[in-house]
Chains A and B, each alone.
Chain A
Amino acid sequence: MEIIAEYGPLLLIVTACFAFFMAWGVGANDVANAMGTSVGSKAITIKQAIIIAMIFEFAGASLAGGEVTSTIRKGIIDSNVLTDSPELLIFGMMSSLLAAAIWLLIATAFGWPVSTTHSIVGAIVGFAAVGISVDAVAWSKVGTIVASWVTSPLISGTIAFILFKSVQRLILNENDPFEKAKTFVPFYMFLTGLLITMVTCLKGLKHVGLDLSMTQSAIYGVIGGLIVAIIGKILLSRIEPKPIEQLGNRFDNVEKVFAVLMVFTACAMAFAHGSNDVANAIGPLAAVVGVIEHNGEVLSKSSTPVWILLLGGAGIVVGLATLGYRVIATIGKKITELTPSRGFAAELAAAATVVIASGMGIPVSTTHTLVGAVLGVGMARGIGAIDLKVVGTIFTSWIITLPAGAGLSILFFYILQGIFVV
């Protein structure tokens, strides 16, 4: 207890810095995957992507990020074990943040496809199991999380497959695909709006003081979807089709319609990413803050303070502004194979999967979910060429990331203990 009384503010500030650094890393690197799809398909410019990402990452983090944050914060570790020695939780969370951040830095430098989510979960499990005791880990919850890493790409792949098949059936295979696109695309816009509004209403407005029931959320969701669809419809009516003779590809006009849709799905993607990935940075911080504010009591009930969510959102935005835009530009140039009609299917499917996972408080990897969605579109024979080797490297990176994150965090855990306890 003396440690917390003595060093409390210092520990808090250091952890906040680590968390901000981690959020910065997420903004600099991870966001690019979420936004690269839209930039690559030329639906939006890089500048627009940055603006969308800033607004919606922030909104997603602060409105729908609470559930995943609380999972990272108190779902993985069984807090009952820690009532006697709360400082261990503080050191552990600090070392987890540091371990995950450093591991990500190393991995990025080597170009390994690691996920922030996997690093932080691995790190927390590592320090808890080795530093405290094997019983300190809520293994059933960890099991759920690991299982979701397999199921989330599968689910998003299935959704993307169905979405793209419906596009083929309803639009591309019709006599006048351009007109059909104008008719049906607002419906996809409605789905996007519905999804985001509903999740926000169900999960996000609690800490603003509004607690809405399922039915109320559904009503607001439909209203939100309709508003989005109407805005989209107005934007679509402004598109002038080019005469067929001037086109390199007969579907260029249709793609223009989908490009408008992609602006909306890009927003949804940024929102989903913010709602899930920001927790990787601020979950541990929230845990530390919780212990210090309650003078060493490890509570399992208290909710995540809003300022922490805002800090995470801000970190992501700063990361985007300082480095993220460059990464988005580079990735965008490589993803030209994904035209708007496919990019939207992938983005919407991934966003839906991630947002639902966020609502359930399950930390998933946005990038891996998006990879699953792209494969789904590929299965519908929509993409020229996908390199399956990358899917293989994702699996290898899992096997490496979990022990690496765990090992590093165990190391930092003992170092921190050495500094403060002895």
Chain B
Amino acid sequence: MAPSSTFSRLFSHSPIRPLQQHMSKVNSCSLKLNEFIEASFTKDWQKVESLYNEIREIENQADDDKKNIRLNLPKSLFMPISRNDLLELLSKQDNVANTAKDIAGIILGRKMQTPEQLQEPLRTYISASIKTVEEANTVVHELDELIETGFGGREVEWIEKLIVRLEELETESDRLQVLIRSSLHDIEKELSPIDVMFFYKIFELIGNLADAAQKVGDQIHVIVAR
């Protein structure tokens, strides 16, 4: 006798857990950038390349997760979060991983050597952006608590607090971007123009990383606000 029952078929797998797993992968992608940038400072290109491969590998896994979640979200599902909002969140999460991979890709591809004076500011700047991603990860991991309370007031307040902190981190990363740009501007005459172009490009991408993370938080804010 087939043990499938009407009642058990009523329950579909909640997309929240997979979504959080996806975000965890995105986060570990961006965390690897710390080590990656250090390796590029020491000009250990072999290590840089292997780290890049790791980042690319995790990003691929996240892509697979993304496709799976999309495929397993039929229109007939009745969820506390609207389907569109969830898919939007997913693609915003995915953007973070893509940006992280792009940063690593350009640095490896051009074997970019960061001048002595820029290393310390770059270290601070990139880790500020990475922290923003970590914070976004925390917010995403609050989603199951949110459903647990049935979108209750206290949990919403808590998430809003996390989102405010996320915004502060993003502002901090913006501020650091301004600083590092002016440091680069001070020494850009001594460097090859093409290198300078790409430094500006990298700085922009690192800013985009924090931006993308903040957009994840914004999307959750939209979900919560209903």
Contact = CB atoms under 8 A, between A and B. Distances in A.
A62 to B, nearest CB: 25
Interface stretch (A84-92, A188-196, A260-268, A374-382): A374-382
Interface in B93-112: none
A387 B11 CA distance: 6
A390 interface: yes
Interface string B76-89: 11111000000000
Contacts of A113: 5-6, 9
B150 A164 contact: yes
Contacts of A391: 10
A173 B13 contact: no
B77 A335 contact: no
Given A367-B6, A393-B6, A337 B11 contact: yes
A109 interface: yes
For chain B, what secondary structure do more than half of its interface residues adopt (helix, strand, loop), or is it mixed? Answer: loop
Interface in A373-418: 374-375, 378, 380-394, 397
B155 interface: yes
B147 interface: yes
A191 to B, nearest CB: 20
A339 B144 CA distance: 12
Given A108-B2, A371-B10, A168 B78 contact: no
Interface in B1-52: 1-16
B115 interface: no
Contacts of B144: 249
Nearest to B157: A173
Interface in A357-372: 367, 370-371
Interface residues of A, number: 57
Given A168-B150, A385-B14, A387-B12, A327 B77 contact: no
A259 to B, nearest CB: 14
Contacts of B5: 29, 32-33, 36, 113, 327, 331, 367
Contacts of A341: 148
A165 B10 CA distance: 21
B7 A367 contact: yes
A327 B12 contact: no
A108 B1 CA distance: 7
Contacts of A386: 10-12, 77-79
Nearest to A391: B10
Given A334-B11, A380-B150, A392-B76, 6 more contacts: A173-B153, A330-B8, A337-B13, A339-B148, A370-B7, A386-B10
14 contacts: A29-B1, A113-B9, A173-B154, A251-B149, A323-B1, A334-B11, A337-B13, A383-B147, A384-B14, A385-B78, A387-B10, A387-B78, A389-B76, A390-B9
Interface of B: 1-16, 74, 76-80, 144-145, 147-155
